[in-house]
């Protein structure tokens, strides 16, 4: 892609152009484009962020696609920086190895394996290979002794792997499939790579959780799709593959863990979840239009609360600088006039500023010298763990604001 962004006119799964516009979050900068202090006065690139529903196949998606070179060649997100996420992927790696790996010669390929948390944990059991496009993150993967190809996965890369390493027993892709514009090319590549006996296992945010929790802040330019199992089944069957198992796993609220292959018996879990999705209305546009109304209500409630607190001279800071937080900050027009600063444990983000809102990010120690009255919990999906961790602050009278799905002060 030569342009900074393009607007698609057809569904990536079924090629239909029959869409319903669900939610327009206006233009905003990419959610992971954190800024250095010297960049604050420079113009920021902003792109439309609008969600559409395909009436033909049921896929919720963005049609405005930002050039992946802008989004992914340098990446400030590390799996290892999130303890819950790292533990989740290590556990997943062990489960997959126990279930599918038969010898040390078996090959596991991860698409967008980030800093190789998953692959490092099984590299003594089999051959491992990470296909990671972010240059800075690929280097960290290599430093862990995991062989790494610094490229975007594609049919061409899959064929190169096949030629050099042979077929893969497992191809894994976690929180990656939603990032890939040409998803058909990736499925062609995966199909070639796993052959008749391999398995493709991937995790994606489940759209049922997105609308159930009102978690609209999972919507940003990197996430081109918001998957239901129904839409995924339509996609997979185009390649004469089948979803033979599915699990709802408690990460990012609820995510789908999907198992795809050719020669596997189909578990009853697949039909059960398809039935559940029909009951929830995930195959109908009106369900998502109700969700967009809920987002607008959420916006109004949070802005009124924050402005009232500022009128009463209360000091408010943010907790966590996840990408999703930038969707919320920018769509709700919350800047450093409302939130003084944000604390985050990720060293790569400390000393940076949030895109669009330009709120400075500090290490967590900042709170000790500059205690706030209220903390806006931008990493609200980890609320239970964070509230437990910050008991001492709460005992000192500091209140936490949980912004999504309903505004709460705890």
Share of the chain above pLDDT 90, in %: 84
Same domain, 147 and 181: yes
How confident is the model at residue 83, as a pLDDT? 80
Is residue 278 in some structural domain? no
Same domain, 62 and 83: no
Q: Tell me how far the alpha carbon of residue 91 is from its chain's centroid.
A: 19
Distance in angstroms (rounded) separating the CA atoms of residues 17 and 8:
9
Is residue 241 in some structural domain? yes
Residue 381: pLDDT over 70:
yes
How confident is the model at residue 274, as a pLDDT? 97
Is residue 72 in some structural domain? no
Same domain, 171 and 313: no
Same domain, 98 and 61: no
Supply angle C-alpha 256, 234, 291, rounded to 5: 55
- In this prediction, residue 79 has a pLDDT band, given cuts at 50, 70 and 90, of confident
- pLDDT tens per residue, range 50-69: 999 999 999 999 999 999 88
The helix, strand and coil proportions of the chain, stated in percent and rounded to the nearest 5, come to 40, 20, 40
How confident is the model at residue 1, as a pLDDT? 59
- pLDDT tens per residue, range 202-224: 999 999 988 887 789 989 999 99
Same domain, 86 and 38: no
Mean pLDDT of 284-313: 95
Which CATH number covers residue 177?
3.40.50.150
Same domain, 122 and 181: yes
Is residue 259 in some structural domain? yes
Same domain, 295 and 373: yes
Q: How far is CA 24 from CA 62, 64, 214, 327, in A?
A: 10, 12, 15, 12
Q: Which domain holds residue 389?
A: 287-409
How confident is the model at residue 403, as a pLDDT? 96
Mean pLDDT of 11-37: 95
Please state the domain count of the chain. Answer: 3
């Amino acid at each position: 892609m030569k342009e900074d962004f393009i607007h698609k006119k057809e569904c990536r799964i079924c090629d239909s152009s029959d869409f319903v516009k669900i939610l327009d979050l206006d233009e905003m900068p990419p959610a992971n484009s954190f800024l250095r202090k010297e960049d604050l006065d420079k113009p920021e690139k902003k792109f439309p962020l609008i969600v559409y529903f395909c009436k033909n196949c049921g896929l919720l998606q963005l049609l405005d696609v930002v050039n992946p070179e802008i989004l992914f060649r340098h990446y400030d997100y590390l799996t290892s920086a999130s303890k819950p996420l790292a533990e989740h992927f290590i556990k997943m790696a062990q489960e997959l190895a126990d279930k599918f790996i038969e010898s040390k010669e078996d090959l596991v390929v991860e698409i967008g394996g980030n800093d190789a948390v998953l692959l490092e944990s099984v590299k003594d059991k089999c051959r491992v290979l990470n296909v990671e496009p972010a240059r800075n993150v690929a280097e960290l993967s290599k430093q862990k002794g995991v062989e790494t190809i610094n490229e975007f996965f594609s049919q061409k890369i899959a064929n190169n792997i096949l030629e050099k390493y042979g077929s893969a027993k497992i191809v894994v892709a976690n929180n990656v499939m939603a990032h890939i514009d040409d998803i058909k090319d990736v499925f062609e590549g995966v199909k070639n790579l796993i052959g008749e006996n391999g398995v493709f296992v991937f995790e994606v945010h489940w759209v049922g959780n997105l609308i159930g929790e009102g978690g609209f802040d999972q919507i940003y330019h990197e996430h081109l799709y918001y998957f239901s199992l129904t839409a995924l089944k339509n996609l997979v069957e185009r390649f004469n593959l089948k979803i033979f198992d599915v699990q709802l796993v408690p990460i990012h609220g609820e995510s789908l863990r999907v198992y795809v292959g050719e020669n596997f018996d189909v578990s009853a879990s697949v039909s059960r979840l398809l039935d559940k999705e029909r009951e929830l209305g995930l195959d109908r546009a009106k369900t998502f239009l109700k969700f967009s109304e809920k987002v607008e209500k959420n916006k109004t409630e949070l802005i009124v609360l924050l402005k009232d607190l500022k009128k009463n001279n209360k000091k408010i800071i943010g907790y966590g600088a996840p990408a999703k937080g930038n969707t919320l900050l920018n769509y709700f027009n919350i800047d450093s006039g409302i939130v003084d600063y944000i604390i985050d444990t990720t060293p790569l983000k400390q000393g940076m500023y949030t895109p669009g809102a330009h709120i400075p990010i500090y290490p967590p120690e900042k709170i000790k010298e500059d205690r706030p009255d209220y903390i806006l919990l931008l990493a609200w999906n980890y609320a239970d763990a964070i509230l437990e961790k910050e008991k001492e602050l709460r005992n000192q009278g500091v209140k936490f604001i949980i912004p999504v799905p309903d505004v709460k002060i705890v």
